[in-house]
Structure 1
Amino acid sequence: MQKLKEQIKIIQKYKSKAQAIKYNAMILGIQNYYNIATMVNIDLGRIGYILTRILKNRLGKGNYKKDILYERRYSKYNYKVWNVNKITLFTLDACKFKVPKQYSPKKKTRIEIDRLYRYTELGDKNWEVLRAKVRYMYNSKCAVTNEYINGNNNFHIHHIIPQKNGGKDTLENLILLKPEVHRALHSKNAIEYYEGNQTYKMLLESLSKYI
């Protein structure tokens, strides 16, 4: 609850797509975790009521204008909503009991957010927020080696299509790389760097075409 309140404050301050998507990721995470509880609609309804009051105080009066992603996920609900930079904030209490699945709520949330917002321009000038978002989306794994990357600063974000060539800050165009892999990609001998590993070599060769 406290984290959601803090995120609403951040949204009020920056009003960016990246922060709105982060809020929606938090909402999805809570819903995916608690929707296996039989009383989920009552429990989240109480918290949702408080959040609605906070949203109203921080972002003004809501309305019923919803983006296509909200309509797709919450088509059976008719809640008043708030839009931030063309992103509709998800509604916490729009959740009902579901039969538990085999995969984890965290993994399900990551898959859903990736599917919903893969082509959305994040438009956030705060690069640290963007880095954190991409790392979360790709589960802290290097796109080339598939190795888990430890630490908060031990990774690089790479634009598949460079910004100078029209590449945008969308999840579809951003990938997570180990620093040494990123350096190899931008070096003159990128392909030779992983000569002994055909998988890495093919991936680097594919990525280097856009540079």
Structure 2
Amino acid sequence: MTKKALRNAQTKIKQAIKVIQKHQTVENVWRFNMVIMGIQNYYAAASHITIDLNKLNNRLNKALYNRLKEMRKEATFQDFTKSLQKRYKGYECNLYKIKEMVLVPIHAQRCKVNLNFSQSICNYTTVGRNKIHQNLRAINKQTLTHVMKQFIPSRSIEYNDNRISRFIAQYGRCAITGIELGLDDWHCHHKTPYRLTKDDSYGNLMIMHESFHRLIHMRNREKIQVLLNSLKLNAKQLTEVNKLRKQCLNEVI
């Protein structure tokens, strides 16, 4: 990270700390975490990222202590959601939580090899063409930034974490059609209804266009037919919709 990048990162994190100090809400702690993880993700390919983030952590320790000491409590690794446990496993650090949400550690990011560049990427071999197609499956950055900022207060911390993880895993595309999703045209679906299991785990969630989500839960036959006429599903898509309807204890269509 350049000196300018470190200064900018420090400013962003300080601002997020001040917001928590003024308004102690789960949503503001979430946004603090999103700032940290955004910086970690963006600079993950930097060869000295761990050293740089340790510098950043040392610069911000005083602000974290002075501004948040009255409201934060000691936390354990088990207080992380499962997705964050997977992400931060192996890092040694003192953990704290506010409103039962753990503050993610600033320094906890190792260098990741940049797999986007390879001498084998070209149009002249099967391997080269496949790598090009893999790299084209990037998520729309504007959409991802929007998604990461959206915290749903009525849902669990686990749900909010896994919702983002699932969106990234699907490259921001609909699970039914594979079409790229926009800012506000998609829903996060529980495969097994939440009302039955209270299961917000990563494996029970999937991202899809809101129209398909409505179709999966819809029971009125007339409304179902209207939506089917509008969507014009192919056989494979209809099979997937019916599989998900069965999981929700609804009749096939």
TM, length-normalised to structure 1: 0.63
Q: Which residue of 1 is the match for residue 88 of structure 2?
A: 73
State the one-letter code of the partner of 2:154: K
Amino acid at match of 1:207: L
What's the counterpart of residue 115 of structure 1?
none
1:92 partnered with 2:101? no
Q: 1:63 to 1:33 in 2, by over 3 A?
A: same
The C-alpha deviation readout for 1:181-206, integer Å capped at 9, x for no partner, is: 12322334569937852321222112
Structure 1 residues 23 and 203: CA distance shift in structure 2, 3 A: farther
Q: What does residue 4 of structure 2 align with? A: none
Change (3 A) 1:195 1:202: farther
CA distance in 2: counterparts of 1:169 and 1:10, whole angstroms: 28
Distance 1:138 1:31, change over 3 A: same
Runs of 4+ with >6 A deviation: 130-133
Percent identical among aligned pairs is: 24
Which runs of 5 or more structure 1 residues have no equivalent in the other structure? 108-121
- Candidates 101, 104, 107, aligned match of 2:115: 101
Q: Corresponding residue for 1:186? A: 217
From 166, 188, 191, the equivalent of 1:160 is 191
Matched, 1:206 2:206: no
Q: What amino acid does structure 1 have at the position aligned with 2:115?
A: K
Partners of 2:86 and 2:203 lie apart in 1 by 22
Could you tell me whether the CA contact under 8 Å between 2:185 and 2:210 is conserved in 1?
yes
Q: State how far apart, in whole Å, the 2-side matches of 1:59 and 1:97 are.
A: 29
Q: Which of 26, 37, 56 does residue 47 from structure 1 map onto?
A: 56
TM-score, normalized by length of structure 2? 0.55
User: By percentage of residues, which structure has more helix?
Assistant: 2
Structure-1 separation of matches of 2:86 and 2:162: 23
CA contact (8 A) 1:56 1:62 kept: no
**Structure number with higher relative contact order (C-alpha < 8 Å, ≥ 6 residues apart):** 1
Residue number among 31, 46, 50 corresponding to 1:37 in the alignment? 46
How many residues align? The count is 191
Q: 2-side partners of 1:70 and 1:179: how far apart?
A: 30
Q: Which amino acid is the alignment partner of residue 180 of structure 2?
A: Y
Q: Which residue of the other structure, out of 127, 134, 140, is the alignment partner of 2:163?
A: 134
**How far off its partner does 1:147 sit?**
1.2
